[in-house]
């Protein structure tokens, strides 16, 4: 690594001293450091007056040309094509034109919208004597006047506006048309859009990736996002919410929302059924599967007993034949168990277990054959490991006796040599760990419980932590675990009873997202910690992202309502927001959709082909608009049914609107 690269790395890590800082300053003054390597200041931004001029322009080349009048070395930000960078003359640092977050510059950048709003409001007031028609006409003229006043003032102040007279007239006319229904709310909507959301609507790599991700996420579940879900912004949410309350649009939104939920629900059923290899995924089945996997034939307890016996058999092969085992510890434990109350023999006889008394009488005091002691230990061990058995000896007494026998067997192991001792430690350690798992976790889970209750415990454990799920996962087979996981996933999106139809089973994005987020991070990892479940987790992570988009950016799909209250206010806010989106395809597209009525707009914003088309081209300048509309014609050509008709109707509106706006001016 060169000295210059070393300096750049030290600067990145913030460990420069006074000497190396001086070297860096010299390198910059001699242009030895490329622009992309210079430290970028993201706190100051361009002055407010510059932001006002640049922010009011639509064409990127005009914005850059205007910025260069104040900062000659200004260039497109290499990390964000919708932003710029320039060298601040005071600090000497490369500086972002629009730094992250909201600041005074963001307010200044909506001066154009402020002028439109002010002109529209003044015009509406002036036209009030003429009734509603007069107010609307005044609002349109005032909005257009405000637009033109801003354009003239901006050009006088140094803005580089390369639009021709015809283009400016057309833009002003469109802005005025958007102000027909009133500028109320337009300034607030415009500020929000221009200050933050506008970057998404106008495109850029981040916006395109977000839309592509939204489409991909829901494609996993056989459906497509609406326009607001794909772009994830408040303006399009306003459009969808507005259309969901318009005559002709409400039914469409409601039908698409219902179909989307049904499609996702069916896909979840399919995915979980494929995962578990069964269509029957109910709490009873999952609980019964867990019980069988733990204590049923071939289950964990049985496998544990077999494995423990094999390990102790392996230990026994290292003990010399005819070895006799001392029973010192066993005899001491039996004597204690049969003499719990030696002071009162009659009471002692009542409190002592008869089976223990018989064992004590049968066991001699002298050493016994090792094989006999081993058989006694195995018999007690199997009883201890069986959580469903009604014990003929109290469990505490069995454990005390088993521990004593183990100590006597350990003495045999030590006397038989290192190999026997290691084999005993391995067998005894395995048995102790397995018995602890059974006693501490598995037995409390399944003993005296109905299957639904067993699954209920596992379902609640997912919200608390990974311990119980990890223990059960390690105790059942992968196929049995997949049934438990499939049942758990299927229930995550089950709507609340108030949202269910008579037959039940309704899916809810909101419920799914809430329950998915409630899952403990470690528990979630354990749920999918078996071969073949990695893709399943990725699918449901995608569904969680889609559900979050629907919750945050698609109120029309979040329990769409037929209420028409405050419709006028929504129309005014929408029209003001559209007026604020100058220079983007949003104005011609959304004005055209609005002209087509609620039904057409609803069909378009819920049309997968249209949404994908818009997601691929959200940054369209005037010169590229025709080509982009041409691509939509190709989309219509390969579409069928209602989708094709909706797109054709929209294209017809675009054609008629373009013809009317260009007739007579030769453009």
- Separation of alpha carbons 206 and 198, rounded Å: 12
Same domain for 223 and 320:
no
* Mean per-residue pLDDT over the chain, rounded: 75
Asked whether residue 190 is domain-assigned, the answer is no
* Lowest mean per-residue pLDDT among 148-152, 433-437, 493-497, 541-545: 493-497
Same domain for 65 and 163:
no
Residue 637 lies in domain: 201-245+563-662
By the 8 A CB rule, do 524 and 540 touch?
no
Strand pairing class (75-77; 40-41): unpaired
Q: What integer is the mean pLDDT of 640-664?
A: 64
- Separation of alpha carbons 582 and 589, rounded Å: 12
Assess whether pLDDT exceeds 70 at residue 11. Answer: no
pLDDT band at 189 (very low <50, low <70, confident <90, very high): very low
Of 188 and 90, more confident: 90
pLDDT for the residue numbered 469: 94
Same domain for 392 and 329:
yes
Assess whether pLDDT exceeds 80 at residue 429. Answer: yes
- Separation of alpha carbons 239 and 554, rounded Å: 10
pLDDT for the residue numbered 614: 63
Q: Which of 627, 629, 622, 628 is nearest to 61 (CA)?
A: 622
Same domain for 568 and 632:
yes
Strand pairing class (94-96; 80-87): antiparallel
Which CB contacts under 8 angstroms, 24+ apart, belong to 163-169? 163/59, 163/62, 166/665, 166/666, 166/667, 167/622, 167/667, 169/665
Tell the burial category of 501 from Cβ atoms under 10 Å away from its Cβ (0-12, 13-18, 19+): exposed
Asked whether residue 26 is domain-assigned, the answer is yes
- Separation of alpha carbons 602 and 254, rounded Å: 10
What are the tens digits of pLDDT across the range 98-124?
A: 887 666 777 777 777 777 777 777 777
Q: Which of 277, 662, 307 is nearest to 487 (CA)?
A: 277
- Separation of alpha carbons 85 and 495, rounded Å: 49
| Residue 221 β-bridge partners | none
- Separation of alpha carbons 16 and 22, rounded Å: 9
Number of CB atoms found within 10 A of residue 240's CB: 25
pLDDT band at 48 (very low <50, low <70, confident <90, very high): confident
Asked whether residue 253 is domain-assigned, the answer is no
Of 340 and 82, more confident: 340
Measure the CA angle with vertex 490, ends 486 and 492; round to 5°: 120
Cα dihedral across residues 400, 405, 411, 413: positive or negative: negative
Same domain for 82 and 116:
no
pLDDT for the residue numbered 166: 58
Of 446, 478, 509, the one marking the end of a domain is 446
Total domains, the chain = 6
Q: What integer is the mean pLDDT of 286-311?
A: 92
Same domain for 430 and 307:
yes
Q: What integer is the mean pLDDT of 124-135?
A: 67
Same domain for 319 and 277:
no
Asked whether residue 161 is domain-assigned, the answer is yes
pLDDT for the residue numbered 587: 44
Of 400, 430, 446, the one marking the end of a domain is 446
By the 8 A CB rule, do 459 and 527 touch?
no
What is the DSSP annotation of 302-318? HHHHHHHHHHHHHHHTT
Tell me the chain's radius of gyration from C-alpha atoms: 38
Same domain for 394 and 476:
no
Asked whether residue 79 is domain-assigned, the answer is yes
Tell the burial category of 386 from Cβ atoms under 10 Å away from its Cβ (0-12, 13-18, 19+): middle
- Separation of alpha carbons 336 and 340, rounded Å: 6
Same domain for 471 and 395:
no
- Separation of alpha carbons 331 and 583, rounded Å: 95
């Amino acid at each position: 690594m060169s000295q210059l690269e070393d300096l750049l790395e030290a600067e990145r890590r913030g460990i420069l001293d006074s000497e190396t800082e001086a070297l860096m300053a010299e390198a910059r003054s001699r242009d030895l450091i490329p622009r992309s390597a210079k430290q970028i200041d993201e706190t100051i931004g361009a002055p407010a007056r510059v932001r006002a001029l640049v922010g009011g322009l639509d064409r990127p080349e005009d914005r850059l040309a205007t910025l260069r009048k104040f900062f000659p070395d200004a260039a497109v930000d290499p990390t964000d094509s919708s932003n710029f960078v320039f060298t601040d003359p005071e600090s000497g640092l490369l500086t972002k034109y629009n730094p992250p977050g909201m600041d005074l510059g963001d307010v200044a950048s909506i001066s154009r919208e402020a002028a439109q709003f002010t002109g529209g409001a003044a015009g509406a007031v002036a036209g009030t004597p003429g009734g509603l028609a007069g107010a609307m006409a005044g609002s349109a003229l005032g909005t257009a006047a405000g637009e033109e006043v801003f354009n003239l003032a901006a050009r006088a102040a140094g803005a580089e506006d390369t639009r021709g007279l015809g283009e400016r007239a057309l833009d002003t006319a469109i802005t005025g048309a958007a102000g027909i229904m009133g500028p109320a709310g337009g300034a607030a909507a415009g500020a929000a859009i221009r200050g933050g959301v506008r970057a998404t609507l106008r495109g850029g790599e981040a916006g395109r990736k977000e839309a592509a991700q939204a489409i991909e996420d829901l494609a996993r579940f056989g459906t497509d996002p609406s326009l607001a879900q794909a772009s994830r912004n408040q303006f399009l949410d306003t459009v969808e919410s507005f259309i969901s309350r318009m005559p002709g649009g409400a039914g469409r939104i409601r039908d698409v929302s219902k179909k989307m939920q049904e499609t996702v629900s069916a896909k979840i059923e399919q995915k979980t059924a494929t995962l578990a290899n069964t269509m029957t995924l109910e709490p009873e089945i999952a609980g019964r599967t867990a019980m069988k996997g733990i204590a049923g034939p071939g289950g964990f307890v049985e496998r544990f007993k077999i494995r423990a016996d094999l390990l102790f058999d392996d230990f026994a092969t290292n003990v010399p034949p005819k070895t006799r085992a001392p029973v010192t510890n066993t005899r001491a434990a039996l004597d204690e168990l049969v003499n719990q109350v030696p002071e009162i023999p009659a009471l002692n006889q009542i409190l002592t277990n008869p089976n223990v008394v018989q064992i004590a009488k049968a066991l001699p005091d002298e050493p016994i054959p090792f094989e006999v002691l081993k058989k006694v230990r195995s018999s007690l061990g199997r009883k201890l490991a069986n959580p469903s058995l009604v014990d003929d000896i109290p469990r505490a007494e069995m454990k005390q006796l088993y521990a004593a026998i183990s100590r006597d067997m350990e003495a045999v192991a030590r006397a038989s040599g290192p190999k026997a001792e290691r084999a005993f430690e391995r067998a005894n350690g395995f048995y102790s760990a397995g018995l602890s798992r059974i006693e501490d976790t598995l037995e409390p889970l399944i003993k005296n419980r109905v299957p639904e209750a067993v699954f209920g415990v596992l379902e609640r454990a997912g919200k608390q932590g990974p311990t119980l799920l990890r223990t059960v996962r390690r105790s059942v087979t992968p196929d049995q675990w997949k049934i438990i996981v499939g049942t758990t996933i299927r229930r995550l999106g089950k709507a609340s009873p108030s949202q269910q139809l008579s037959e039940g089973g309704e899916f809810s994005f909101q419920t799914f997202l809430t329950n998915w987020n409630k899952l403990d991070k470690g528990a979630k990892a354990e749920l999918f910690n078996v071969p073949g479940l990695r893709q399943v987790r990725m699918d449901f992570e995608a569904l969680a992202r889609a559900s979050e988009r629907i919750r945050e950016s698609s109120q029309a799909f979040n329990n769409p309502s037929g209420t028409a209250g405050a419709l006028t206010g929504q129309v005014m806010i929408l029209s003001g927001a559209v007026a604020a989106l100058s220079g983007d395809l949003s104005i011609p597209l959304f004005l055209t959709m609005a002209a087509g009525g609620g039904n057409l707009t609803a069909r378009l914003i819920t049309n997968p082909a249209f949404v994908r088309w818009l997601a691929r081209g959200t940054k369209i300048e005037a010169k590229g608009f025709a080509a982009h509309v041409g691509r939509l014609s190709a989309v219509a050509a390969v579409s069928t049914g209602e989708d094709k008709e909706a797109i054709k109707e929209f294209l017809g509106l675009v054609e008629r609107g373009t013809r009317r706006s260009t007739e007579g001016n030769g453009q």
